[in-house]
Structure 1
Amino acid sequence: MGKNLAGKTAFIVAVLLVFCYGIVGIPHGGLKESIARRINLGLDLKGGVHLVLEVHVDEAIASSVDRDAVRLQTELAAAGIPGVSAGRIDPARSETIVVSGIPTGKLSDARGVFNGPNYSSYDVASGGDGTTTLTMKQQAAHELANRTVDTSIETIRERVDKLGVTEPVIQKYGLGDNQILVELPGVSDPGRVEEIIQSTAKLEIHAVAGGPFASDQEALQSNGGVIPADSVLMHGAASAGAPDQVWLLKRVSEVEGTDFRDAQPSTDQNGRPNITFTLTTEAGDRFYKYTSEHSATSATPGSMAIVLDNKVKEVASINSAIRDRGEIEGGFTKQQAADLSLMLRTGALPATITFLETRTVGPSLGAASIRQGVMAAVVGLTAVMVFMLLYYRGAGINACLALILNLIILLGFMGFAGSVLTLPGIAGVILTIGMGVDSNVLIFERIREELRAGKSAAMAVQQGFGHAWITIIDTHVTTIVSALILFLFGTGPVRGFAVTLAFGLLANLFTAVFVSRMIFEAHLKNKERGAVALSI
């Protein structure tokens, strides 16, 4: 005992300095400002916006099925079976494709297409009237729904990161299917953030099949009272400032949001805000094929509609083939053009979302929570230190020093890791104080037992720490495992509690065992061996 005390002391001082740096970093301004730059505050302490969103995954499933139906028609035609109709006949059954018009002599060739790798996620059922139904398998639909939610989370996170929100919480919400929790601490303009998050920015370019019409009734009458299965009616305006009209568009888009590689706000030749875009290579080739076949100089000239969030923004004639670059004009304001280009750059959401819950926490409420939480921590720490000093006398000083170092290491951990401190996190800090005291009580009581058994002070300290070590490890490991489970399955505030509790327990293992023992050894070394009675 007592060997290498200088090295141990230097190590503890080095640890103390490192974690002090973790708390304040390089001092700039006052102490409070330096700490605020290192310790990120959560929504409940800093104020901000709390949102619960629901993703309409059925839209993504329907879009995927529509594209498979178009591809299926193309593959059947390539297999020598032209004139076949394939599509979703019943809009309520978004996962089903009905194929009709297959000649009896071509059923075998059609089955070869249906059983191909592109449709392995569908169950195929043949009817007696030359029709075949492809229904997406439940497992495939479930996986697509999960991918839709995951993609929505990543898209929302990219948009929020572009806005500079510090330490946002964006994750699946465990209380319902297809729901997302969004917490944005310190938001200064919640209205704009909500608008950017809510908008799907689902930009699509559709082929125009008919129109414009003055109303839905006129559109139906012009098509014999029935809308073709491969088409859809959409409202909008052919240009900025034009009255609302109805257009008959092809259901499957030629280009959609996920096909955009880049988008930037710009101005047109008249100085009005617009958006320039660049498509991916694959989408550019596909768009070039479509515009080449329907340009003004082709045998089948046509027009295309630019649709944003299921509203026609502009209808334009196809003068010449377009490959991968173009412009979007729609009477945008400068801010709208900037926001829309941001959404397109970060990727369109795969489905629309709705708000289930919106809650705002004011910064004044957060400031009150900080004051009350810090007061609770200070009062708790003071009460514990007073008890330890009264009950364990001189050894209580040892426990108090270990507790203070424990808090420094805990806060330094959070500063280095960039963790978010929440109100439950402050509760975790207070609980850590209790766990630290518990460890000291176990050690001190064990030392008392050894002293009552007649052992020397040095031997009592050695045996006390040696026997208490196993118990301390057991209690800390089990609690850390519980904190890990809370972190993995909990939401933002619960995670904050789990993080501070786990960090605090790790710090306590160091302070209660290593630091506390070093203090005892330093005290005993200054006395003659066997001539000292521990004040405990």
Structure 2
Amino acid sequence: MIRHFIYLAIIVLLTALAGWLFWINPARRGLDVQGGLRMTLRAEVEKLSPEEQKLWTPERMRLVIDILNRRIDSLGVIEPTIYQKGDTEIVIELPGFTDEQEARDLLQTTARLEFRYLKDVRTDKNPAGRYDIVLEKEGDDEVVKFRDLRSPEGKLIEPGTPEYQKILESSPLIVTGDDLQRADVVSQSFSPEVLLTFNREGQDKFARASSLYLKEHIAIILDGKIISAPVIQSPNLREPVIQGNFTLKEAARLRDLLNAGALPVSLSLESINRVEAILGAQAWDRIIQAGAIGFVAIAVFMVLYYLLPGIISVIALALYVLFALAIFRATGVTFSLPAIAGIILSIGMAIDANILIFERLKEELRLGRTLLAGLDAAFKRAFPAIFDSNLSTIIICLILYYFGTGPVQGFATTLGIGVAISFFTAIFCTRTFLYTLVGLGVHPSEKLFGLRRQFGQEVGEQLGAAKDRFDFVNKRGLYYAISGAAIVIGLVFWLGLGGLKPGIDFEGGSELVLQKRVATAATPPAPKPAEQPANPQGNPPTQGQNQPAEQPNQPTA
């Protein structure tokens, strides 16, 4: 029995660890509980070439959603929701995330990576080049510009201008992000860098280019913007490094963008707003109160019906709740409504395991076995049923998590983890507590173990006495007919009421957005501007030249 006292010490240590994890990790609530960001992006299919528009299919939109899902994972957002609305719009919900600018930068960026040889940039190897590279700081960014050496004033060519784009388009393409296998953040110098690993074809392309364009400039282009224009220093280079005076956060964002893959179409931001919680703080408190009331109700039933084993089951159930909440908090599980449903369902399964064990134990004790022999038989015979039911549930959870998204994954996560923990508390904790009773010299008795309590005993006796009335084998034709009639009636009602009714996320529908007008204090009218002479050039006056921003008789957007 010393072994069980050791197990008891392990449970105490695990309880202390779980309590510490629960205390130091705050709960993460879902969009429906705590609010967050909601974005609507639109795929700009009209900007694709006519050939690309012909090839645009619903599968391409699903590819866009997959890429956005991978990018959202890098934000650390748990249980996001992303779905298509209409033909070209995508709605993204990020629970607990409030940085609008970071969300825009990560999700709107197309991430088209190109390496090009700047054939018109002057170097010692190419003295006839027309342009020189100029690096200028604009805020925290370093911008690559070109200086036209053939213009008398040394004209600067800015990014985004037609001339700038012409220089890039005329530069020979070396390799693209299509050949990229992986991007990693490294620190080979004083600032973080992004190391690129290409596939075999991409490595061969870059090796040839590095030998051919040795000591000349190449451009590393992301979404049409040069992020770096280094000089190739060594031939046969196969794993280039992107240097751009990045911060660690910027380098990590670039790595995540490249690893997620390039979007096949540019995305415009249709709307972005912060979403208030569907459930306020008061509703969240009510959920906690409802959970506490349910726990107390289960505890009262178990104690009244099973007595001493019931008290042990309540302790095991309390440990289950503590262990589960500690793991959920430590791993960052988001407490959304589907996730909370998974937790509640797993609590029910946790108490089911104890009931199987206790019912089997009572049967063994009624046969006159000792407490030790009864426990051995009860756990041996109840274990297969508990293991099979928990394993089948976990398998379903894995399938739901793999094929599902957002809320479905949240439900699968909490249910799967909860079932695994309930198996531990039912088999390990409950078993340890009961065998500890044996070590303490507790003997089975009707008062301690509720041996006279048998739920539904009278009904069972009546059914047993009337078993001849339910001769299913000899009267199987009758019961086949009853079963078949019940199935037909169910099908008629099901089909008559329209069958399954998919929700808006499966079938689509209409969306109605209501906005509340907030009354503001009236502002005093502006003083009447003084008259001024007509504009001598005949140009219309601009705002700020005694011209109101909006004419009263003109429509505004």
Which residue identity does 1:186 align to in structure 2? Answer: G
The aligned counterpart of 1:434 is 348
Does residue 15 (structure 1) correspond to residue 19 (structure 2)? The answer is no
The aligned counterpart of 1:387 is 301
Identity of aligned residues (%): 26
2:262 to 338, 347, 350: 350
- Kept in 2, the 8 Å contact 1:56–1:353? The answer is yes
Which residue identity does 1:493 align to in structure 2? Answer: P
Mapping for residues 136-155 of structure 1, pairs under 5 Å: none
- Kept in 2, the 8 Å contact 1:201–1:343? The answer is no
- Cα deviation, 1:270-301, whole Å, max 9, x if unaligned, reads xxxxx9999998777666678789x9xxxxxx
- Kept in 1, the 8 Å contact 2:11–2:429? The answer is no
Mapping for residues 41-120 of structure 1, pairs under 5 Å: 41-45=29-33, 47-49=35-37
C-alpha separation in 1, matches of 2:232 and 2:343: 67
- Cα deviation, 1:416-448, whole Å, max 9, x if unaligned, reads 6x2513222222222222112222222333344
The aligned counterpart of 2:494 is none
1:420 to 333, 337, 359: 333
The aligned counterpart of 1:444 is 358
- Cα deviation, 1:211-240, whole Å, max 9, x if unaligned, reads xxxxxxxxxxxxxxxxxxxxxxxxx99946
Mapping for residues 479-490 of structure 1, pairs under 5 Å: 479-490=393-404
Structure 1: runs of 5 or more not aligned: 26-30, 63-87, 96-137, 211-235, 265-274, 296-302
Distance verdict in 2 for CA 1:46–1:237, change over 3 Å: farther
Q: Say which structure is richer in strand.
A: 1
Which residue identity does 2:387 align to in structure 1? Answer: I
Which residue identity does 1:35 align to in structure 2? Answer: N
- Kept in 1, the 8 Å contact 2:81–2:93? The answer is no
- Cα deviation, 1:175-219, whole Å, max 9, x if unaligned, reads 999999966453332233223321225465768999xxxxxxxxx
**1:463 offset after TM fit, Å?**
3.8
The aligned counterpart of 2:25 is 35
Say which SS state the counterpart of residue 97 (structure 2) adopts. coil
Mapping for residues 102-251 of structure 1, pairs under 5 Å: 157=73, 160=74, 165-168=75-78, 184-202=94-112, 204=114, 239=156, 245=162, 249-250=169-170
- Cα deviation, 1:460-514, whole Å, max 9, x if unaligned, reads 5544444333322232222222222222222132222222222222222232234
Does residue 526 (structure 1) correspond to residue 438 (structure 2)? The answer is no
CA-based RMSD: 5.8
- Kept in 2, the 8 Å contact 1:263–1:342? The answer is no
C-alpha separation in 1, matches of 2:208 and 2:86: 38
C-alpha separation in 2, matches of 1:185 and 1:370: 15
Say which SS state the counterpart of residue 187 (structure 1) adopts. coil
Mapping for residues 298-377 of structure 1, pairs under 5 Å: 309-310=223-224, 344=254, 346=256, 348=258, 349-351=261-263, 352-354=265-267, 360-362=274-276, 367=281, 370-377=284-291
The aligned counterpart of 2:317 is 403
The aligned counterpart of 1:85 is none
C-alpha separation in 1, matches of 2:360 and 2:252: 64
Structure 2: runs of 5 or more not aligned: 121-144, 148-155, 198-202, 454-557
**1:358 offset after TM fit, Å?**
6.2
Which residue identity does 1:408 align to in structure 2? Answer: L
The TM-score, its normalising length taken from structure 1, stands at 0.54
- Cα deviation, 1:101-152, whole Å, max 9, x if unaligned, reads xxxxxxxxxxxxxxxxxxxxxxxxxxxxxxxxxxxxx9xxx9x999998777
**1:403 offset after TM fit, Å?**
0.6
C-alpha separation in 2, matches of 1:289 and 1:464: 76
- Cα deviation, 1:77-110, whole Å, max 9, x if unaligned, reads xxxxxxxxxxx99565679xxxxxxxxxxxxxxx
Distance verdict in 2 for CA 1:464–1:277, change over 3 Å: closer
- Kept in 1, the 8 Å contact 2:31–2:93? The answer is yes
C-alpha separation in 2, matches of 1:483 and 1:149: 23
C-alpha separation in 1, matches of 2:210 and 2:276: 51
C-alpha separation in 2, matches of 1:173 and 1:339: 28
C-alpha separation in 2, matches of 1:279 and 1:439: 52
**175-184 or 358-367, which deviates more:** 175-184
Which residue identity does 2:103 align to in structure 1? Answer: V
C-alpha separation in 1, matches of 2:92 and 2:50: 37
C-alpha separation in 1, matches of 2:17 and 2:69: 34
Distance verdict in 2 for CA 1:326–1:492, change over 3 Å: closer
Which residue identity does 1:21 align to in structure 2? Answer: L
Distance verdict in 2 for CA 1:388–1:359, change over 3 Å: farther
The TM-score, its normalising length taken from structure 2, stands at 0.52
- Kept in 1, the 8 Å contact 2:307–2:449? The answer is no
Distance verdict in 2 for CA 1:429–1:188, change over 3 Å: same
Aligned length: 394
Distance verdict in 2 for CA 1:14–1:176, change over 3 Å: farther
Mapping for residues 259-278 of structure 1, pairs under 5 Å: none
C-alpha separation in 1, matches of 2:329 and 2:232: 58
- Kept in 2, the 8 Å contact 1:46–1:186? The answer is yes
C-alpha separation in 1, matches of 2:309 and 2:184: 66
C-alpha separation in 2, matches of 1:401 and 1:276: 53
The aligned counterpart of 2:472 is none
C-alpha separation in 2, matches of 1:320 and 1:14: 60
Which residue identity does 1:400 align to in structure 2? Answer: V
C-alpha separation in 2, matches of 1:183 and 1:23: 32
Distance verdict in 2 for CA 1:450–1:240, change over 3 Å: same
- Kept in 2, the 8 Å contact 1:23–1:35? The answer is no
- Cα deviation, 1:313-333, whole Å, max 9, x if unaligned, reads 99x9xx99999999999xxxx
Which residue identity does 1:48 align to in structure 2? Answer: G
- Kept in 2, the 8 Å contact 1:204–1:255? The answer is yes
Does residue 501 (structure 1) correspond to residue 497 (structure 2)? The answer is no
Say which SS state the counterpart of residue 49 (structure 1) adopts. strand
Say which SS state the counterpart of residue 25 (structure 2) adopts. helix
